[in-house]
Structure 1
Amino acid sequence: MGLYITMWIAMIAVIVVNVLSNTLPINGQTAADISDRLEVLFTPAGYVFSIWSLIYVLLVIWLITIYRKVKDNRFNGKVGILFIISCLFNIAWLFSWHYEQFILSIIVMFFLLFTLIAIYKQYKNNETGFSERFPFSFYLAWLSVATIANVSYVLKYNGVDLGISEVVGSLVLVGVAVILGYLAVAISKDIFFTLVIVWALVGIAVKTDDATMQYGTIVLTIILIIVALIHYMRMKTKRLV
Structure 2
Amino acid sequence: MRLLGLKLINLASFMYLLTASFFLSQNLQPSTANVYVMPAPFAFSIWFVIYLLLFIFLMKSFFANEELDRVVDHIGLWFPLSMFLSGTTVIVGTTPSLLFITLSLLTLCVVYTIIQRLNLSTQKYRTPFSIYLAWTSIATIVDTFVVLKANGVQELFAIGELGWSAFILAVGGLIALAFYFIQKDTWFPLVFIWGYGAIFAYQENTLIKFITGAFVVILLFIIFFSWFQKNRVS
Kindly indicate whether residue 29 of structure 2 is the aligned counterpart of residue 34 of structure 1: yes
Q: 2: distance between equivalents of 1:112 and 1:127?
A: 25
Q: 2: distance between equivalents of 1:224 and 1:69?
A: 34
- Equivalences for residues 1-40 of structure 1 within 5 A: 1-21=4-24, 26=25, 30-31=26-27, 33-34=28-29, 37-40=32-35
The answer for the alignment partner of 1:194 in structure 2 is: 189
The answer for the alignment partner of 1:123 in structure 2 is: 115
- Which structure 1 residue ranges, 5 or more long, are not aligned? none
Kindly indicate whether residue 164 of structure 2 is the aligned counterpart of residue 161 of structure 1: no
The answer for the alignment partner of 1:56 in structure 2 is: 51
SS of alignment partner, residue 178 of structure 1: helix
2:176 corresponds, among 169, 177, 181, to 181
1:94 corresponds, among 86, 90, 97, to 90
The answer for the alignment partner of 2:214 in structure 1 is: 219
The answer for the alignment partner of 1:206 in structure 2 is: 201
Deviates more, 1:72-81 or 1:51-60: 72-81
Q: CA RMSD in A?
A: 2.5
Whether the aligned pair in 2 keeps the contact of 1:189 and 1:232 (CA below 8 Å) is no
Q: 1: distance between equivalents of 2:39 and 2:15?
A: 27
- TM-score in terms of structure 2 length: 0.85
Q: CA deviation at 1:92?
A: 2.0
Q: 1: distance between equivalents of 2:33 and 2:129?
A: 30
1:79 corresponds, among 67, 75, 93, to 75
SS of alignment partner, residue 155 of structure 2: coil
- TM-score in terms of structure 1 length: 0.83
SS of alignment partner, residue 95 of structure 1: coil
Kindly indicate whether residue 145 of structure 2 is the aligned counterpart of residue 149 of structure 1: no
Whether the aligned pair in 2 keeps the contact of 1:45 and 1:204 (CA below 8 Å) is yes
Q: What CA deviation, in whole Å up to 9, does each residue of 1:73-117 have, x standing for no partner?
A: 545423141111112211221222xx33x1x22221111111101
Whether the aligned pair in 2 keeps the contact of 1:185 and 1:231 (CA below 8 Å) is no
Q: 2: distance between equivalents of 1:74 and 1:154?
A: 39
Aligned residue pairs: how many? 225
Instruction: Decide whether aligned partners of structure 1 residues 36 and 226 sit closer, same or farther in structure 2, where only a CA change above 3 A counts.
Output: farther
Q: 1: distance between equivalents of 2:193 and 2:33?
A: 23
The answer for the alignment partner of 2:106 in structure 1 is: 114
Q: 2: distance between equivalents of 1:203 and 1:142?
A: 12
Q: CA deviation at 1:69?
A: 2.8
